[in-house]
Structure 1
Amino acid sequence: MCGRARCTLRPEDVRRACHRHGPPARFLHLECYRPSYNVAPGSYMPVLRRDKDGVAVHCMKWGLVPGFTKKTDKPDFFKMFNARSESIAEKASFRRLLPKNRCLVAVDGFYEWKKEGSKKQPYYIHFKDERPLVFAALFDSWQNSGGETLYTFTILTTASSSALDWLHDRMPVILGDKDSVDTWLDDPSTSKLQPLLAPYEKSDLVWYPVTSAIGKLSFDGPERIQQIPLKASQNSLISKFFSAKQPKTEERDKETIPAGPKEEPILEGVLVSDSNDEIKQVDEEKAEPLVGDSSAVASPPESVKKEGESVETGGLELTGKSSGRKRDYELFSAQEKPWKQQQSVVVRMQDDKSCGKHGRKKQGKGNSKETQSTLHFFFDEK
């Protein structure tokens, strides 16, 4: 975590970022410092540490080389450029540095990579108001075989905040106010340091994706922090398909139900007469039954509705256009209505008259049972 950073601050800006506004600080080895948008372990950076007369802005190499390292060894700056804050009191490389070798590292922002399948997408993380970030760090000095003293430092890390855990499980220890900076730098007691090593949870930390070209150490410049649009993930459609569907509300159900076909205007009132083989329009306010064989006349409709609404006539629904005058209407044929609706209309016939062209076929005169008994008597007599 935190293996790349942007540090374009002036040495005086580092002192201000660490809330040191008192006596002027000493500046050491600043000739080695090169402001960069792509700082990596092994690069020189300005570090604020305690000094005899106050504080010093000391240019050191990023990547700790412990002082007990053999003089003949070749330093590896990528081995300890970060230190886990949970174990600094246990490991020998860091435990001996806690009392007197605490320091502060100020940067414009830092970078982190998000794994997306086989690829990694870098993000630039910084404060919303563009003020410098101040990291808790430890430094050490090492002397090589040539007698040259090299100052190096490591940045402490902690568990990621709830806002950044999607990106990485670790983040730098950010000291966001003057009290935490003063405690880390000046307090001689190491027992007060533990609360400072928590994740930074404030909402003023922001981020956005940047070009993957920052992986090259030679790539530098302002374009390095330019925000880029992310390409649509190939799995976006699949993830949306398998995502939990939202429950439909009553409003939503009404919107999704397609409108049915437009209904034809319905008769305002009708009577069915088997004797006259007619369906005549009846006035809405007063419907007089037709005169005829009382047994062959269906009862008038129980409810008469306005034009555009259905009219129930013994369970059979009739449709037509109301013209305001009397006219004949034909019943729907049996082929145009379901069988169940045909059964709902039962007109009892008690005479031998014809039921009309839309009813049953004309039967012979006389009762079939009576005819049979008469013939039987005729043949028995003979």
Structure 2
Amino acid sequence: MCGRARCTLRPEDVPRACHRHGFPAHFLHLECYRPSYNVAPGSYMPVLRRDNDGVSVHCMKWGLVPGFTRKTEKPDFFKMFNARSESVSEKASFRRLLPKNRCLVAVDGFYEWKKEGSKKQPYYIHFKDERPLVFAALYDSWQNSGGETLYTFTILTTASSSALDCLHDRMPVILGDKDSVDTWLDDPSTSKLQPLLAPYEKSDLVWYPVTSAIGKLSFDGPECIQQIPLKASQNSLISKFFSAKQPKTEERDKGTRSTDATIPAGPKEEPILEGYEGVVVSDSNDETKELDEEKDKLNEAQNLCFQKVVKAEPFIGDSSAIASHPESVKNEVEEGTYGEGESVETGGLEFTGKSSGKSGTKRAYELFSAQEKPWKQSMRLQDVDKSCGKHRRKQGKGKSNIKKSRETQSTLHFFFDEK
């Protein structure tokens, strides 16, 4: 499809571009023409057509509006700005125009969009020697409800050439020589037109990528035809940049291997920093061992000073101390409210015993305390014996009672697991 073009030609240059410079030419409605680098359907362009006395350069709107269109209907110039040459003799909109309404459109070049993934990249297509391109076209006139006559045209398209097929599957019908121009413009027989509608296969047609801003109708100027680099070429430059770094990496590896070769072999090979042959990197396992030893020393010092409570383990002996406990649990144990084989758990502390059916019965307790040094445990047991002996003297008895006073019980304590 041909939907954008560059037309900066002067009106007097159009007959020469169409090989009609020796014939008299009439110029009509040139006040509507505005040269542009970005011409779209709906814009005015100079069109060369046959006239009674010769040819006329008539300024028409691009985008065919058939003459049978209703006068009250709003024209849509984008609906038929192109016509497929394969079916132009079959459709009513174009078939009636072939005998007498053939014309030529001269442009500097045209634009085509190539699909690249999800995006489309525009290309500017023109002749290598910068001569104008001449397209085969059809024109018609339409009168609106106000009585104004509007001349419009459509450009014929055909299958793309073998070279241009990489951009798009369609291209405009290009009349590249004087014979083809004369046949299209003057020959009354439509049977000779079919050979002219073939793709243009000559090698003088060239193209290059341009900015995607060409898609905006308001974008105009020489920037429209300025060539731009493609992203693929940018990626290739990046790949070349990294590939250029590879030889340096190989040379550095060679230098490292040569340095390693100068070091005498030993029982154990240590990694050597590049450029510092005398510096040996220490093994990570040795550092781990040193850290473990420091942790062990720290834990041992904390245990000796009793600054950190370790995990509680059961401690049972003949001289086990009776520890104090929460008041509510203590009363329940002393009153014998729990049956045989039952246990009371409170904050990591477990009491077990056998009930004799009497209040204030004796119970055997299992005491869970923290691990301590032997000398510390012996001092604790001596304190318990002194406390028990003190109560014996007060009671006047030679044996200790299981049921202790609150004062005695408050002097004992449990070590709970803070972890």
- TM-score, normalised on structure 1? 0.62
| Structure 1 residue 220, shift from structure 2 partner | 0.3
| Structure 1 residue 205, shift from structure 2 partner | 0.1
| Structure 1 residue 232, shift from structure 2 partner | 1.8
- CA-based RMSD of the aligned residues comes to 20.4
CA distance in 2, matches of 1:111, 1:105: 15
Task: Report the more deviating stretch, 111-120 or 245-254.
Answer: 245-254
| Structure 1 residue 223, shift from structure 2 partner | 1.0
Q: Which has the higher helix share?
A: 2
| Structure 1 residue 118, shift from structure 2 partner | 1.2
Q: Say which one has the larger Rg.
A: 2
SS in 2 for 1:181: helix
Q: For each residue in 1:238-274, what CA deviation from the matched residue of structure 2 results, as whole angstroms up to 9, or x when unmatched?
A: 99999999999999999x9999999999999999999
Q: For each residue in 1:303-332, what CA deviation from the matched residue of structure 2 results, as whole angstroms up to 9, or x when unmatched?
A: 999x99999999999999999999999999
Change (3 A) 1:246 1:40: farther
Change (3 A) 1:37 1:308: farther
Does structure 1 conserve the Cα–Cα contact (< 8 Å) formed by 2:355 and 2:363? Answer: no
CA distance in 2, matches of 1:53, 1:379: 120
CA distance in 1, matches of 2:386, 2:268: 39
Does structure 2 conserve the Cα–Cα contact (< 8 Å) formed by 1:123 and 1:208? Answer: yes
SS in 2 for 1:161: coil
Q: For each residue in 1:198-245, what CA deviation from the matched residue of structure 2 results, as whole angstroms up to 9, or x when unmatched?
A: 000000000000000111100000111000111127998999999999
Q: For each residue in 1:271-304, what CA deviation from the matched residue of structure 2 results, as whole angstroms up to 9, or x when unmatched?
A: 9999999999999999999999999999999999
| Structure 1 residue 379, shift from structure 2 partner | 87
Tell me the equivalent position of 1:277: 286
| Structure 1 residue 22, shift from structure 2 partner | 1.9
Change (3 A) 1:211 1:264: closer
| Structure 1 residue 117, shift from structure 2 partner | 1.0
Change (3 A) 1:265 1:78: closer
Does structure 2 conserve the Cα–Cα contact (< 8 Å) formed by 1:97 and 1:140? Answer: yes
SS in 2 for 1:162: coil
Does structure 2 conserve the Cα–Cα contact (< 8 Å) formed by 1:82 and 1:157? Answer: yes
Does structure 2 conserve the Cα–Cα contact (< 8 Å) formed by 1:89 and 1:95? Answer: yes
Task: Report the more deviating stretch, 364-373 or 65-74.
Answer: 364-373
Change (3 A) 1:270 1:34: closer
| Structure 1 residue 157, shift from structure 2 partner | 0.1
| Structure 1 residue 23, shift from structure 2 partner | 3.1
Does structure 2 conserve the Cα–Cα contact (< 8 Å) formed by 1:64 and 1:154? Answer: yes
SS in 2 for 1:188: coil
Does structure 1 conserve the Cα–Cα contact (< 8 Å) formed by 2:354 and 2:363? Answer: no
CA distance in 1, matches of 2:395, 2:312: 32
| Structure 1 residue 24, shift from structure 2 partner | 2.5
Change (3 A) 1:43 1:290: closer
Give the total of aligned pairs: 373
Tell me the equivalent position of 1:295: 320
SS in 2 for 1:376: coil
CA distance in 2, matches of 1:381, 1:42: 87
Does structure 1 conserve the Cα–Cα contact (< 8 Å) formed by 2:271 and 2:281? Answer: no
Change (3 A) 1:303 1:231: farther
SS in 1 for 2:195: helix
Change (3 A) 1:312 1:67: same
CA distance in 1, matches of 2:418, 2:222: 128
CA distance in 1, matches of 2:181, 2:41: 23
Q: For each residue in 1:321-354, what CA deviation from the matched residue of structure 2 results, as whole angstroms up to 9, or x when unmatched?
A: 99999999999999999999xxxxxx99999999
CA distance in 2, matches of 1:371, 1:211: 97
Task: Report the more deviating stretch, 269-278 or 111-120.
Answer: 269-278
Does structure 1 conserve the Cα–Cα contact (< 8 Å) formed by 2:369 and 2:414? Answer: no
SS in 2 for 1:280: helix
CA distance in 2, matches of 1:112, 1:42: 18
Does structure 1 conserve the Cα–Cα contact (< 8 Å) formed by 2:64 and 2:152? Answer: yes
CA distance in 1, matches of 2:177, 2:145: 41
What are the within-5 Å matches in structure 2 for residues 115-154 of structure 1?
A: 115-154=115-154
Does structure 2 conserve the Cα–Cα contact (< 8 Å) formed by 1:82 and 1:155? Answer: yes
SS in 2 for 1:165: helix
Change (3 A) 1:357 1:274: farther
| Structure 1 residue 375, shift from structure 2 partner | 92
CA distance in 2, matches of 1:107, 1:323: 120
Does structure 2 conserve the Cα–Cα contact (< 8 Å) formed by 1:33 and 1:45? Answer: yes
Does structure 2 conserve the Cα–Cα contact (< 8 Å) formed by 1:65 and 1:140? Answer: yes
CA distance in 1, matches of 2:72, 2:415: 143
Q: 1:357 aligns with which of 372, 375, 390?
A: 390
CA distance in 2, matches of 1:204, 1:29: 33
Q: Check if 1:106 corresponds to 2:106.
A: yes
The percentage of aligned residue pairs carrying the same residue is 92
CA distance in 2, matches of 1:40, 1:207: 19
Change (3 A) 1:123 1:333: farther
Change (3 A) 1:112 1:289: same
Does structure 2 conserve the Cα–Cα contact (< 8 Å) formed by 1:301 and 1:312? Answer: no
Does structure 2 conserve the Cα–Cα contact (< 8 Å) formed by 1:272 and 1:298? Answer: no
SS in 2 for 1:304: helix
Does structure 2 conserve the Cα–Cα contact (< 8 Å) formed by 1:123 and 1:210? Answer: yes
| Structure 1 residue 371, shift from structure 2 partner | 98
| Structure 1 residue 30, shift from structure 2 partner | 0.3
SS in 2 for 1:11: coil
Does structure 2 conserve the Cα–Cα contact (< 8 Å) formed by 1:269 and 1:282? Answer: no
